[in-house]
């Protein structure tokens, strides 16, 4: 039997959970071979992450408790898109809130899906340079500790498991490639 891999039809969708950040749906899907399956989907508004890079090569990273993994992770600053907010506007806001900086230049490095097996969360990744001070105001439930890391140490911290957060691994890796001239600014839809 021959079929188009993209030939899936959503037959029904029922919201199972409506949270502050995510919504969960149970959906009935007709597969390309005619069978039906029940799939779960997490709807997320999208998020951004920034690699705030100082002139000396230091990246302003954060230590933050992440309840889902029951531990503290070393991460680049990031945040959820607010309704009606562009990814760039979100990046500017989150950079000020989480590390107290504003950037002279924001370069979009990548867009990706964090966990497309169950979530539609689209992530936008920026390199922030030309940093100067801005008013920091973390959200009430965020307890952040700045943890500067030199960009040249990033690969070793990833390989040793000190940095285990996907967006940070992608952000630091793309930043190193961009600075080495091996990656260009992201130019939009890859498909």
Which positions are catalytic? 140
What is the C-alpha separation between 142 and 63, in angstroms, rounded?
Answer: 11
What is the C-alpha separation between 102 and 78, in angstroms, rounded?
Answer: 14
Q: How many CB atoms lie within 10 A of CB 25?
A: 17
CB contact at 8 A, 77 and 59: no
């Amino acid at each position: 039997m021959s079929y188009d891999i993209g030939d899936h039809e959503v037959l029904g969708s029922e919201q199972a959970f409506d949270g502050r950040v995510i919504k969960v749906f149970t959906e009935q899907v007709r597969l390309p071979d005619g069978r039906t399956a029940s799939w779960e989907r997490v709807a997320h508004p999208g998020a951004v992450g920034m690699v705030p890079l100082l002139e000396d090569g230091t990246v302003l990273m954060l230590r933050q408790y992440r309840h889902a993994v029951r531990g503290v992770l070393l991460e680049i600053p990031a945040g959820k898109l607010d309704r009606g907010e562009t990814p760039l506007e979100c990046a500017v806001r989150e950079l000020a809130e989480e590390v107290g900086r504003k950037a002279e230049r924001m370069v979009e490095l990548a867009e990706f899906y964090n966990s497309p097996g169950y979530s539609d969360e689209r992530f936008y990744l920026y390199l922030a340079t030309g940093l100067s001070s801005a008013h920091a105001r973390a959200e009430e439930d965020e307890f952040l500790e700045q943890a500067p890391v030199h960009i040249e140490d990033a690969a070793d911290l990833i390989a040793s498991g000190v940095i285990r957060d996907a967006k940070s691994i992608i952000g630091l890796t793309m930043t190193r490639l961009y600075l080495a001239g091996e990656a260009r600014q992201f130019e939009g839809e890859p498909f």
